[in-house]
Amino acid sequence: MPASSTPPLLGTAAPGWLEVWLEAGREGRIFTYANPEARAIGVGDLVRVRLQGRPHTGLVVATAAVCPAAMEGRTILPLEAVLQSAAIDPHWQELLEAVARQCHTGLFRTLKSALPPGWLGQARRAPAGQGRILWTVRLNPDSIAVISHPRQQELVDHLASHGGARLLRDLVHEAGFGRSLIGTMERRGLLLKESGRGPARASGAGATPLELPQRASPAQAEAMAAIADAPPGQALLLWGVTGSGKTEVYLQAAARELAAGRSVLILAPEIGLIPQLLDRCRRRFGVAVIEYHSGMGDGERVVAWRRCLEATLHQEACLAVGTRSAVFLPLGHLGLIVLDEEHDASYKQESPMPCYHAREVARLRAHQTGARLVLGSATPSLETWWRCQPGPQGWPGDTRLLPLPERIGQRPLPPVRLVDMRQELVDGHRRLISRPLMARLEKLPERGEQAVVLVPRRGYRSFLSCRSCGEVVLCPHCDVALTVHRGPRAGGQEGREWLRCHWCDHRQEMGDRCGHCGSTAFKPFGAGTQRVMEQLATELEGLRLIRFDRDTTRGRDGHRRLLERFAAGEADVLVGTQMLAKGMDLPAVTLAAVLAADGLLHRPDLRASEQCLQLLLQLAGRAGRGERPGEVLVQTYSPDHPVIRHLVDGRYGAFLAEELELRRQGGMVPFGRACLLRLAGPTASGTATAAAALAERIRPALEEAGWVLIGPAPAPVARVAGRSRWQLLLHGPGTAVLPLPHDSDLRRALPPGVSLTIDPDPLEL
């Protein structure tokens, strides 16, 4: 049911027919309703309609002057009520349509992915008007900003005579202060605005003193000027080595936009990085920072979403900070989007569809709204770096490179030293922790210094195998080895070992016998964070340790609590998985070490080298950020591996150039395009048959368009959580459009129980 036109928001002639998106069934659908009373309704309004006799909340996604179904004489139900006008704006709709197109899926799935979970449900419970947030405006007792206008003084006096705070509504409607005046004072930190009417939370950010901008280094100043002068919609890559002050550039660029009345969106790849970023934003800008990520409850996310809508409605500029999904926040008059750590794979949604990359969505959004896009990283992705190269014909060259080549205060980047583990073995040292690493860890406490130690895997041991037949103990539901964990689990005993699947979270006891040969002897292999902790504790008595992995950082403040303890000097060493390489800025950390770099090096994937070098350079970037110089120690059995060589040389640019040449020769991304179709079903044979049928169905159009179809083949992990997985890999020329039918058409042809995901531009092949 395509709509014939998409008129602007309110104020035009009332449309006769509405295309309304309803959350009906698992898929949701778009239905047509009539607007008999000629109400002023536009795209983006929330309405109440009936479907099969039951009331539903729906979103108007298009309006039309004519309706084919009605002309055919079919009955079209009228809408019942308008729940909220302009719940989303037209730009947002365009954005979603573009994302849906790029990701080869429908608008419904895209909407569902973009909206906060439960948003429609919430809207149903809060009809028009009541859904509005109550804002309280209060004086900021810690403000150091200067009052620059008599009207500002009047507002300050007025608030003071009301005990320091009043509802925004009353300030505007009763006392007659303008929203723009309040907005300006809020941005300058004179006032704080909080949702609700209650008193300020005792420990709330209202107590945080505002921090002044740093005096920019020459390189920072140049980058800031380039951002300020960039034409609307321009993308810029801020390539700054670790500790070069990228965040300061983001904050000052943000301050500029906010002062000009435009909104700012800052994204980080992981929840673990949000608290630090929020703190810095709040210290700089006061409390008016909107937080949005999947670590928040549904209700909180709905509130954040509403705050964006409110701000847009009242033409107020606001600052939002969040993870991947925050790229969809409905902020109007957006001036700046920042993606910190733009190379990070967490920006990619793997499932469910749409399999979008927040960086690409941000590019679209910047293009549509005229916002500048700043992509920041110490180790930019090959793709983004490539887009900065003027290069030969056919290279985009559409992103501007802004380098920050030095750390703040000219602090040197820490030197990287290798420990050849083969030599350790030859010398009869068989421990996990090499002698050079021991020697350095030992000295930490007396020097008052700290270290971070990266262990690629959590748990106690990587896997367990049978001493007699060599069979590895596998998960009963997945084709992967179970990891040995130690310590209490539900009903388990302290110190006891048990097995766990890191894919489906299946847990089981160790078992007495090998399921294959009946032997009772097992042999554990590899070391996880738990075992490293144990070894460090026994070999270096008195060294204080904190484990930092997915098992110990659960819950909303898990990361923050552990990092705060470490920052406060409660431990000498932080032992953790990859999450410890990211973003942490702790001046006492002088040593960064990797225990088993080999586990990271040998992965059969297009981006394995790139991702591994990024991780190791990020980890190296944690050391020596304060006054004292830092050092990086890498334990490896492959000291000659190209990634290790580039790590030691610290020349990431040289790596990118080499890698790009390899990709060019192989016609791979970004010189070619890839697309992965993933199928999953209850049985291996059923899924394989479905994959083969799908391949035959799409092959003719693909081949005609110059694409190559590889497969179907079982996925690298062929079974997860009891579902068999097959995949089709498509390769095409660089600029080629992917000739695939709509995903719902493809899905319709699949047997029941078999699911399909289309992942255009997959990160892992």
In the bound state with ligand ADP, the residue whose beta carbon lies nearer, of 252 and 434, is 252
By CB under 6 A, is residue 408 in contact with ligand ADP? yes
Count of positions on this chain that bind Zn ion (CB under 5 A): 15
Name which of ligand ADP, Zn ion, none residue 478 binds, using a CB cut-off of 5 to 8 Å depending on partner kind. Zn ion
By CB under 5 A, is residue 471 in contact with Zn ion? yes
In the bound state with Zn ion, the residue whose beta carbon lies nearer, of 33 and 522, is 522
By CB under 5 A, is residue 689 in contact with Zn ion? no
Question: By CB under 5 A, which span of 57-65, 393-401, 464-472, 569-577 interacts with Zn ion?
Answer: 464-472
By CB under 6 A, is residue 377 in contact with ligand ADP? no
What are the C-alpha distances in Å from 88 to residues 135, 179, 234? Answer: 21, 21, 24
Figure out which of the listed residues 63, 242, 252, 724 binds ligand ADP, where binding follows CB under 6 A: 242
By CB under 6 A, is residue 635 in contact with ligand ADP? no
Q: Contact at 8 Å (CB) between 316 and 185? A: no
Q: Contact at 8 Å (CB) between 709 and 698? A: yes
Figure out which of the listed residues 38, 425, 469, 749 binds Zn ion, where binding follows CB under 5 A: 469
Backbone Cα Rg of the chain: 28
C-alpha to C-alpha distance for 389 and 384, rounded to whole angstroms: 9
Figure out which of the listed residues 43, 185, 514, 758 binds Zn ion, where binding follows CB under 5 A: 514
C-alpha to C-alpha distance for 711 and 279, rounded to whole angstroms: 48
**Shortest reach from residue 184's CB to ligand ADP, in Å:** 26
By CB under 5 A, is residue 466 in contact with Zn ion? yes
Reference 730, options 755, 707, 714; nearest CA is 707
By CB under 5 A, is residue 517 in contact with Zn ion? yes
Count of positions on this chain that bind ligand ADP (CB under 6 A): 15
By CB under 6 A, is residue 627 in contact with ligand ADP? no
Q: Contact at 8 Å (CB) between 268 and 277? A: yes
CA dihedral of residues 388, 392, 396, 402 (deg, nearest 10) = 10
By CB under 6 A, is residue 269 in contact with ligand ADP? no
Name which of Zn ion, ligand ADP, none residue 47 binds, using a CB cut-off of 5 to 8 Å depending on partner kind. none
Figure out which of the listed residues 271, 355, 419, 475 binds Zn ion, where binding follows CB under 5 A: 475
Residue that is written with structure tokens 């500002």 in the block: 152
In the bound state with Zn ion, the residue whose beta carbon lies nearer, of 233 and 716, is 716
Strands 450-454 and 416-420: what pairing?
Answer: unpaired
By CB under 6 A, is residue 405 in contact with ligand ADP? no
Sign of the alpha-carbon torsion through 299, 305, 308, 313: negative
Question: By CB under 6 A, which span of 103-111, 235-243, 425-433, 752-760 interacts with ligand ADP?
Answer: 235-243
Name which of ligand ADP, Zn ion, none residue 506 binds, using a CB cut-off of 5 to 8 Å depending on partner kind. Zn ion
By CB under 5 A, is residue 680 in contact with Zn ion? no
- For the stretch 127-132, contacts whose Cβ atoms lie closer than 8 Å and that sit 24 or more positions apart, written own/partner, are 127/81, 127/83, 128/82, 128/83, 128/84, 128/85, 131/83, 131/84, 131/306, 132/310
Figure out which of the listed residues 220, 349, 369, 462 binds ligand ADP, where binding follows CB under 6 A: 220
Interface pattern 583-602 for ligand ADP (x via CB under 6 A)? --x-----------------
Figure out which of the listed residues 54, 215, 554, 748 binds ligand ADP, where binding follows CB under 6 A: 215
Question: By CB under 5 A, which span of 202-210, 421-429, 496-504, 660-668 interacts with Zn ion?
Answer: 496-504
Sheet of strand 191-195, all strands in order from the earlier edge strand to the far edge: 165-167, 135-139, 191-195
CA angle, residues 719, 723, 728, in degrees to nearest 5: 70
Q: Contact at 8 Å (CB) between 440 and 562? A: no
Q: Where are the beta strands (DSSP E) in 540-699?
A: 545-548, 573-576, 589-594, 631-636, 672-681
By CB under 5 A, is residue 519 in contact with Zn ion? yes
Reference 10, options 334, 333, 313, 304; nearest CA is 313
In the bound state with ligand ADP, the residue whose beta carbon lies nearer, of 248 and 270, is 248
Q: What are phi and psi of 142, to 5 degrees?
A: -95, 5
By CB under 6 A, is residue 414 in contact with ligand ADP? no
Q: Contact at 8 Å (CB) between 7 and 52? A: no
Helix runs in 115-201, H state only: 119-125, 150-161, 168-173, 179-187
**Shortest reach from residue 373's CB to ligand ADP, in Å:** 17
Name which of ligand ADP, Zn ion, none residue 475 binds, using a CB cut-off of 5 to 8 Å depending on partner kind. Zn ion
Figure out which of the listed residues 39, 132, 477, 747 binds Zn ion, where binding follows CB under 5 A: 477
Question: By CB under 6 A, which span of 208-216, 484-492, 551-559, 610-618 interacts with ligand ADP?
Answer: 208-216
Per the DSSP assignment, residues forming a β-bridge with 63 are 5, 18
Figure out which of the listed residues 23, 248, 342, 449 binds ligand ADP, where binding follows CB under 6 A: 248
Name which of Zn ion, ligand ADP, none residue 220 binds, using a CB cut-off of 5 to 8 Å depending on partner kind. ligand ADP
Reference 309, options 293, 328, 281, 323; nearest CA is 328
In the bound state with ligand ADP, the residue whose beta carbon lies nearer, of 77 and 225, is 225
**Shortest reach from residue 428's CB to Zn ion, in Å:** 30
C-alpha to C-alpha distance for 206 and 196, rounded to whole angstroms: 14
Q: Which residues bind ligand ADP (CB under 6 A)?
A: 214-217, 220, 240, 242-248, 408, 585
